[in-house]
Amino acid sequence: MSVHPTLIPLLNDMAEARVLCVGDIMLDRFISGDVARISPEAPVPVLRIREETEMLGGVGNVARNLAGLGVKPALIATVGADVAGATVLEQLEALGVEASGLVGDSGRPTAIKTRYLAGNQQMLRADKEETGPLRPATADALVTAVTSALGACAVLVLSDYGKGVLGDGRAKALIDAAKDAGKTVIVDPKGNDYGIYAGADLVTPNRKELSEASGMAVGGVEDAVVAAQGLIGRHGFGAILVTLSQQGMALVTADTSLHVPAEAREVFDVSGAGDTVVATLAGALAAGAEMADAVRLANAAAGIVVGKVGTAAVYAAELVSALHHEDISRAEAKVLTLTEAMDRTQVWRRQGMKIGFTNGCFDLLHPGHISLLDQARATCDRLIVGLNSDESVARLKGPERPVQGEAGRATVLASLAGVDMVVVFEQDTPLQLIAQLRPDVLVKGADYAKDQVVGAKEVESWGGRVHLAELQPGHSTTATIERLSNGKAGGKAGGADPK
């Protein structure tokens, strides 16, 4: 691994970091399905739609990544008075992103990028957007919002997608204002004229963008260093970080360079990877990191996000696991939040894997549980276990349960080779979890009839099936606890572990 576990404390420090994100926001839509025939109406494939998702794009994805890393971001951008704009605001609020600076413009629709996917292949991208100059009132409102918000942040991120927010000299004006306020400025650039970002502390082009802006061919690291130093000399940048795909990243200043090799990972989708890099850099620098350490952390984050699907984000737990993968418990790495689980299952689906799901309290794991889990794993390529939270178990089983807290129960389950993921849920039933994860196989014990299994109707509605596993007689957590309480098996059981 090219990064050292001593970078992990940076992630804790990020919880106190404040980053202001300004730029073009959009809604990324992904419509996924299968293609089995050509249309009789025209020589085009027919996509049988199986799933539709919406994610924050542009500067919204930067804020989403910051929130996933534990940073408290604020965001300033423009949205239209439309359904897509309302969705953007709803998603930002769900992430805890400060979005009071979101400027509405009824004359300018919210940008939407719709991608149509068949298996691993993107078939088509359709963009709905307005890229002309902002109306004067909208532009003034944006500048006022940024000026007011600068004092509360350590780093300003300008995410330019060429949609107008940072046009007409606003990028340079905001950079000057931030520098006057003593703030660090990171720019994710667009176009060939980098003079509009003059004075920024860090600019983050990819290979193609650097080549176009410098007018030089950029084939490898040495070319990137020469091209970047030319731009630094012309525009007074503090540094340029060039992302070079499989060659990793190069951090270049006026007189030094640092090459960080790419992490060796299978690449599924590079959509939004640049946003992840910018967000990680911003969070690390806002937390007081040295530039080189911030770059190494961003490189590790990029290695994770390209293994996901769509405009994805990286989460602090994933980054800790990647940085410290030889020492961290592999079991802990399998215990995911719902958002993380949805990202992971999308990758599995893109790999053509069949996903199974079962659920329970799993308080005091016994041979009956192991048999159920083994049978469940035999039905699928990847097995997800939904685990009732402590509060949920108490409601179902009584106030003395669980004997073992949810953290302990999750770790024990995740340590089993046949369990690929554990997700704790707060509800009394896993219906909401099933609806979000959409497993191909739903497994429950044969003491249930199929029409009694929670989620059976839903799983079958999207083409999945229900499997009723045989039960091993003579095993019961409740009976075991009663024996312990009666002193027949080594004394009284203790209380639940702390969370």
What's the CA gap between 113 and 127, in Å, rounded? 5
Hey, which residues does 114 pair with through a beta bridge? 29, 126
What's the CA gap between 408 and 125, in Å, rounded? 45
What's the CA gap between 33 and 56, in Å, rounded? 21
Identify whether 343 is a catalytic site residue: no
What's the CA gap between 283 and 155, in Å, rounded? 8
Catalytic residue among 275, 343, 420, 440: 275
- 185, HSE (Cβ side, Cα atoms, 13 Å): 27
Answer left, alpha or beta for residue 191, where phi above 0 means left and psi between -120 and 50 means alpha: left
3-state SS assignment for residue 314: coil
3-state SS assignment for residue 10: helix
Write the DSSP symbol of residue 107.
T
3-state SS assignment for residue 45: strand
Element (H, E) at 174: helix 170-180
Phi, psi of 398 (to 5 degrees): 115, 165
Measured CA angle at 263 (ends 257, 269), to 5 deg: 110
Taking CA atoms, 294 is separated from 101, 118, 336, in Å, by 27, 36, 25
Residues identified as active-site = 275
